[in-house]
């Protein structure tokens, strides 16, 4: 994986790019390092959670959403106290925490209205095999 990234870097540096672009390629937190892509994948979690707003509320996992909300909340707070303050990471964690909070509210409202999580489906294929 690292060798592949090294090859990509060499190919990109041979292209006729401006010095500013070349500085970006070699940056310690640039697009060829993991530090660049970590916030990107956290945005993917946020978008997946937003897409899951349309899922039926019985299928929402309360455990998972609590964990996502807690991660988002704690990281939002800590992005404010680290040096340097990382607003981009704070934004992604705040949004992720907000989507988790929304899903938790949906689930709690469902339970308050008397909703019950559906029981596991009966093992039909096993019964057919027994017969």
Partner 1 sequence: MDIVKTFINSPIGPKTTHFWGPVCNWGIVLAGILDSNKPPEKISPNMTTVLLCYSLMFMRFAWKVQPRNYLLFSCHICNTIAQSALLMKVIKYRRGLTV
- Taking CB under 8 A as the binding criterion, the range among 12-20, 40-48, 106-114 that sits at the site for partner 1 is 40-48
Interacting residue with partner 1 among 23, 58, 111, 115 (CB under 8 A): 58
d(CA 95, CA 101): 10
CB 68 within 8 A of CB 96: yes
For residues 15 and 130, which CB has a smaller minimum distance to partner 1 in the complex? 130
Three-point CA angle 88, 51, 53, nearest 5°: 105
Distance of CA 4 to the CA centre of its chain: 25
User: Cβ(93)–Cβ(76) under 8 Å?
Assistant: yes
Q: Which string of x and - marks every residue 71-100 that binds partner 1 (by CB under 8 A)?
A: x--xx--x--xx------------------
Q: Which residue has the tokens 């390629």?
A: 25
Task: Report how far residue 115's alpha carbon sits from residue 70's, in angstroms, rounded to the nearest whole number.
Answer: 24
Residue 122 near partner 1 by CB under 8 A: no
Tokens matching residue 21: 């672009």
Span of 8-16, 17-25, 104-112, 115-123 interacting with partner 1 by CB under 8 A: 115-123
Residues that bind partner 1 (CB under 8 A): 33-35, 37-38, 41-42, 44-45, 48-49, 51-52, 55, 58-59, 61, 63-64, 66-68, 70-71, 74-75, 78, 81-82, 117-118, 120-121, 125
């Amino acid at each position: 994986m690292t060798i592949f990234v090294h090859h990509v870097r060499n190919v990109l540096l041979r292209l006729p790019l401006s010095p500013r672009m070349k500085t970006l390629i070699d940056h310690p937190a640039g697009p060829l390092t993991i530090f660049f892509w970590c916030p990107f994948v956290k945005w993917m979690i946020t978008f997946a959670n937003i897409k899951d707003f349309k899922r039926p509320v019985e299928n929402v996992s309360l455990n998972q959403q609590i964990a996502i909300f807690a991660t988002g909340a704690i990281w939002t707070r800590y992005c404010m106290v680290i040096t340097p303050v990382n607003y981009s990471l704070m934004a992604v964690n705040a949004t992720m925490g907000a989507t988790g909070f929304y899903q938790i509210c949906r689930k709690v409202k469902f339970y308050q209205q008397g909703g019950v999580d559906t029981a596991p489906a009966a093992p039909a294929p096993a019964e057919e095999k027994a017969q």
